Structure 1
């Protein structure tokens, strides 16, 4: 009995020392920090009551202006939350080589679709980025714009049916799902070369799979958070994030499309065509190596992983941006009318083109303000790959430390954006932009690891918005929430009950 008690006492002492050593990390470094709680660190209520943006807001408000960064803990992981815009510039651009990696989970061996541009690190990331960059040039965007415009026409037709149904039922229209069906069809076409038909059928297979990624994950919220904050350990444990049925679906979709195009000589100037150009001739020879070797071209799994992340990152972010934009325009009809007037003036009844979109400068301001007030990704994460001395301070960020850049909280800083909850597109007039710190606006990140598809994302969101504003007016209904209830479980910015608006034909 005494021996058992002694063992228990030693175990408790070791556990105490372990946690004490971790949770006094920032105090020992002399870094301003919020006191953590056992096991959860500073993430109390995460995923139930709070989102990351809420946790970050508390710490950002407490420490901004007192030090260039504040210490916090994502569970057991020390994290440097950067509050100084000049230090953000150092991290994302000037000293990028210290912070090239995101520290995100990828497990190519067991979960091949996780080996994509968002999660790859080091030379593997650099090589993949170089190979994929040509698909997102202005020239490629022009080629793809026609495909997106065609889907935009189908979006307006689908909205027409929704308006008719709402009239019969004396209801309104839930905007977010319709926007997601539009972006699903756009990216299904551009990334997989497939007609998804989700605008015609809300239960179409690609739409169902897209919903499953976010609504029916492989793991519980607690396990997902563990993988998010402990990517390398999760990889060693050979964990997966994607459901097997989803992996098999997307792998088959890419394989079938590539096989068909190679067999029939089909070319569409889209994302799949570029992947085919990068394809390894001898697939089996490439697979024999360890890790990701791109010197001989891409394997089928690597091609599928890039198409998968294009789909996931593209359909969710752009559809949410469109929905939040239409919501703000519904609340401010004068701004909505000003955008519509610009659209009519530029197009003059003609077809929408990539060049015509570039002339719509007020629409650009409206979209920029939407992403300022409603940034879809609330924070940027990086991992120090070597110990970094913070310029003009005595602080260091040690190798392996996670660095968090609180995008949402910067965008809602009243010192940078007076009355931040007000939707005001004039904030993005050229003179206003010049007057602000260049790193006060980060919806797509910045530097060498910014969002590679930002041009495509903005293009499809604009085409969707123009297609709808040409034919419909948006206003508030009895079900329109003011303000919106946000979902703390959503990895991106998401609403708990959708976005309901009154929609009328023009």
Structure 2
């Protein structure tokens, strides 16, 4: 009994020491912070009452104007909430070498699809970024735009059928799912060279597998939170985040496409063609050694991982942007009319093309304002890889600390964007843009680790919007939520009940 009591005492002492050392960190550093709660840090209500953007908002409001950064805890993970836009610039660009990594989980050995550009670190990330940057050049994206325009025709056909079916329901159409099926078909074609037919069949395999990432995670929220905040330990424990059937599906899709194209000599100037040009001639030699060595080219698994992240990131972000944009245009008919007028004046009855999109300056402002008000990723996270002294302060961000840039909260700061809930594309007229701090608008991040697919994402969203606005008018219906009810459990900005609008043919 005495031994048991002694063990309990030691266990309690160690647990208390860990708790005390962890949660008094910011106090010891003299950094303003919000006091954390045991185990959950500052995450009380996360996933039930609040999303992370709501937690960030509370801390942002509390410390804005008082300090360049504030301390917080993502469960046990010490995190610096970066408030000052000048410091954001230092972290993302000038002193990027201190904050190169995202600190996001990857386990290439056991979960090969996690070895993609979004999660890779250090030299592995640099090598992969260097390999893939030419794939996303303006010229390459222009070549892929023809595929997107073709899928845009299928989008209008699908919308036409939805409008016919919706006549019995006041013309109400759920927009988000239709936009997601459009971007699924676009990226399925560009990244895998496959006809996904999601617009014809909402239950197509590609659509189902893509949605699985957000609707059928491998683990419970508690385990996901552990992996998210203990990435290196989770990797050592050989944990996975992706369901095995999802991994098998995407691996097979890439393998089959690559083999077919190599045998047949078929070329489509799409993403998978670009990856084939980077492939390793000798798969066995490229697989040897520790970590990722790209000097011999991309292995099949590495090609699959890049295709996978292109698919997952591209279909969700662009479809959400399209849906939120149509929602705002339904609420602001004058803006919708102005966009449509510009579209018709530029196209003059001709087909959409990459070059004509570039002439639609008001559409660019509308999309920019959509991304300002509805940034799909609410925050940017970087991990400090070498201790960093914050300029003009005595504060040191130590190695292993996460730096969190609260994009959503900056985009809704009334001191930067007056009346932030109002949808106003004129905020992105050149004069207005030049009057603001350049780091007060970050829907794609910035610096060397910004979103590599930014041009492609905006291109496909614009083609989808132009295709729809030429043939349909969008208005509020009986089911339209004003304001929208957002999903607190989603890692991206997402509505709880979809986006319902009244749609009429023009």
The TM-score by the shorter chain falls in which range? over 0.9
**Which residue does 1:30 correspond to in 2?**
30
2:347 and 2:356 in contact (8 A); partners too:
yes
* Cα root mean square deviation, aligned: 0.8
**Residues 290-319 of structure 1 deviation map (CA, whole Å, 9 limit, x = unaligned):** 110000001000000000000000000000
Q: Say if 2:206 is the partner of 1:206.
A: yes
Segments of 5+ residues of structure 2 without an aligned counterpart are: none
Structure 1 stretches of at least 4 aligned residues deviating more than 3 Å after TM superposition: 168-171
2:149 and 2:352 in contact (8 A); partners too:
yes
Segments of 5+ residues of structure 1 without an aligned counterpart are: none
TM-score, normalised via structure 1 length: 0.99
Superposition deviation, residue 431 in structure 1: 0.1
Distance 1:120 1:443 in 2: 21
Q: Which range is displaced more, 375-384 or 10-19?
A: 10-19
**Which residue does 1:266 correspond to in 2?**
266
**Residues 348-404 of structure 1 deviation map (CA, whole Å, 9 limit, x = unaligned):** 000111110000000000000000000000000000110001111000000111110
**Which residue does 2:367 correspond to in 1?**
367
Secondary structure of the structure 2 residue equivalent to 1:470: helix
Distance 1:471 1:402 in 2: 47
Superposition deviation, residue 2 in structure 1: 3.4
Distance 2:389 2:167 in 1: 62
Distance 2:155 2:264 in 1: 30
Distance 1:135 1:354 in 2: 17
Superposition deviation, residue 122 in structure 1: 0.6
Q: Say if 2:396 is the partner of 1:396.
A: yes
Superposition deviation, residue 171 in structure 1: 4.9
Distance 1:300 1:14 in 2: 46
2:110 and 2:240 in contact (8 A); partners too:
yes
Secondary structure of the structure 1 residue equivalent to 2:336: helix
Superposition deviation, residue 47 in structure 1: 1.0
Distance 2:313 2:454 in 1: 10
**Residues 413-464 of structure 1 deviation map (CA, whole Å, 9 limit, x = unaligned):** 0000000001000000000000000000000000000000000000000000
**Residues 215-250 of structure 1 deviation map (CA, whole Å, 9 limit, x = unaligned):** 011011111122122211111111101000000000
TM-score, normalised via structure 2 length: 0.99
Distance 2:28 2:346 in 1: 60
Secondary structure of the structure 2 residue equivalent to 1:295: helix
**Which residue does 2:135 correspond to in 1?**
135
Distance 1:344 1:354 in 2: 15
Superposition deviation, residue 483 in structure 1: 0.3
**Residues 164-221 of structure 1 deviation map (CA, whole Å, 9 limit, x = unaligned):** 0000344510000000000000000000000100001111110010111110110111
Distance 2:331 2:34 in 1: 38
Distance 1:47 1:234 in 2: 21
Superposition deviation, residue 9 in structure 1: 2.1
**Which residue does 1:176 correspond to in 2?**
176
Q: Say if 2:19 is the partner of 1:19.
A: yes
2:389 and 2:396 in contact (8 A); partners too:
yes
2:170 and 2:502 in contact (8 A); partners too:
no
Secondary structure of the structure 1 residue equivalent to 2:132: helix
Distance 1:221 1:337 in 2: 43
What does 1:209-224 align with in structure 2 at a 5 Å threshold? 209-224=209-224
Distance 1:470 1:268 in 2: 28
What does 1:93-242 align with in structure 2 at a 5 Å threshold? 93-242=93-242
Distance 1:89 1:298 in 2: 33
Secondary structure of the structure 1 residue equivalent to 2:504: strand
Distance 2:2 2:289 in 1: 55
Secondary structure of the structure 1 residue equivalent to 2:484: coil
2:472 and 2:504 in contact (8 A); partners too:
yes
Distance 2:127 2:142 in 1: 25
